[in-house]
Structure 1
Amino acid sequence: MKPSSTVAVNAKALELRRQGIDLVAMTAGEPDFDTPQHVKDAAWRAIQAGKTKYAPPAGIPELREAISQKFKRENGLDIPPDQTVVTVGGKQALFNLFQALLDPGDEVIVIGPYWVSYPEMARFAGGEAVEVRTGPEAGFIPDPAEVEKKVSPRTKAVVLNSPGNPTGAVYPQEVLTAIAEIARKHDFYVISDEIYEHLIYEGEHFSPARVAPERTITVNGAAKAYAMTGWRIGYAGGPKDVIKAVVDVNSQSTTSPDTIAQWAMVEALTNLEASQQFIAMAREAYRGRRNLIVEGLNRIGLPTPKVNGAFYVLSDVSKIDPDEVKAAERLLTEARVAVVPGTDFAAPQHVRFSYATSEDNIRKALHRIEELLARP
């Protein structure tokens, strides 16, 4: 396995900051907002009530019930509590899902550009990632016909991530429906990573499990919607036999996520008024930042499509250097702007900017990049 390039680049940026270097870090996929107060208060209440013991490998029953209700309320999915599982972040839900599903030689279709961890998780489980390419000219939206071309007798799953990392693309309902129907036709699974579902600026979210519930595992978590990255709470819901297998992997690895964090997540999912106010505030802030960075990067000569979700943009930096790694190094060392090169995302000549930072930082970054481009 290769280490996560996004984690490595962010660690380098943080180290430079610790050294006192004035750096604009646009690397991490982490909200810059604090966890909502009502969620923190719930964690404190759990501590005071002594809810600090081991939890069941599938998660506390109260959280599994809240997840089931969330699926019904927000996604139109009928997933009972015993078909849900709580994990140490959405990343562990995906990792354990690959462990549960894949045998050596199995194939997983991934839509490129993709999150760096999907292929590595598949390889760790003995599988192989098969890429379907998309480009900025199509808004990074996959063609279902191209997905079907990649299907083989060894295909075990396709991973869909909408809104997506690193592209910010939101897949239309008809695209998700078509891919789900392909999975049903060829008898493989859809792994739907919906961690950014609440961060859509134009259009609406659609869960492919509405089309093929018997073939779809829906993965989500607390990190992006509720700014709970460090709490490490994720979850998944889907076919009973698949979820049972994921629970078995949990039981032999971490046993369960942090019990206190699980009670905090119950609050996030059940105190709807407070949580929706927080989500709406954050979404509007990200929308303004998205508009600012997309307009700014295009204005200074770095082609950047305006996509509709998450808090990332992929920008063509061949004007800085045709090699995206060298371009990212120049941005870091000369402009003091930290970004993630597109290499491990399967996005050559591009870098990923995260706009989960203030508008002042975005303006500062744009100014510094413009100065870099102006140099002979």
Structure 2
Amino acid sequence: MLRPPNSLSGMLHRLAVEGVLRFLVSGQCYGGNISSATCFRLMLDLNKRVYNHTPGPCRIVTGITDGAAGLELVREVGIVIISTGLANAYGNETVRGGLAMIQLEKEMAKHETKPVKIEGEKFDQNKFAPLGISSYYSKGRILVYVVNSHPERQCVEIFTYHKDKNVLFHRKSVCDARFTSIYDVVVVSADRFFISNLAYMSRGKLQTAELVMQSSFGALYFFDGRTVSLHESRLSTPSALAIDRKRKLIFVGSLLNENVRVYALEKDYSLTFRTQISLLSSPAGIHIEEENGDIWIALHPVLHQAYLVTLYPNDEKVRSSSQVLREDGVSWVITEPYANDGATISASNAVVYDKDHLLIGSMFGRLLHCDVLNPSIT
């Protein structure tokens, strides 16, 4: 039942719902070439089914119960930094946002994480809901950049990580009024990074209406060390970000368009579009393998399931399928190393691969570690 428009929010809510209904009736989808009903079915992945398979033995990593929505490999020191507690941004106030780490070793006797302590006088951890993570390593110094997706504080939090003490020292926050639904961050040099903004509206009914209408109001912003500037506008749901080892290519995922756009990073930090990779699944996290340039992608293969998970972040019975794709950096052949119907890991949102170790992080639940037995054919 619609609320009467006795307030501005009520009127906006009614207009948003009416806009969605007009969209579904009009049939304006893919240039009007297919019916609105078919369009809606394809967008929500109502036609898909997921079949379970793994690249080798897998096990649940201990120490993570509140999600691993973001994963960042710091290759120089062999650790993966993990963002936890994203459910706090979706109304589950019993969950506390934080960061953890896991050490990757050739032979892992234990598969467990350790919480990372955060220090900083001006840092409010009660308003911290971490999502995307990126890092920059230089001369033994590790800088960590974390997207804070808390509804009251949409910022990129910048830390210095001390591995010996396992402590993150908060340096500063980069905030902007245009940050309404920031998703991921990718660092190109010290304190210079790109930020993806999924939609024009913040989370809620209006954003849902915006996404259902498949509007292209997402954006890519750039922070040059001093100010935030708009780099790319009119993007459709820009989500995951990544950069290659040579720092010459930027990868931008699109949740609704189910693809990854590849840009060349110029010397002045401008972007030149190069190509587009079709996935037929919604990318949520991207990892670029340093040695050969292979692209590892965590995806939501059945989008309506992922949407339901965000509506009920504290209900373990509501599950979403998980998927990992790998694109060969040379041949561009796409394979599927991992898929699950949500029983083992729900709503895969992040992925890291390093030396036969595959880590898959969920939005609100577990962290999974798999041994990749045949990396050449996975």
TM-score between the two structures when normalised by the length of structure 1:
0.26
Higher strand fraction: Structure 1 or Structure 2? 2
Higher relative contact order (CA 8 A, sep 6+): 1
TM-score, normalised on structure 2? 0.26
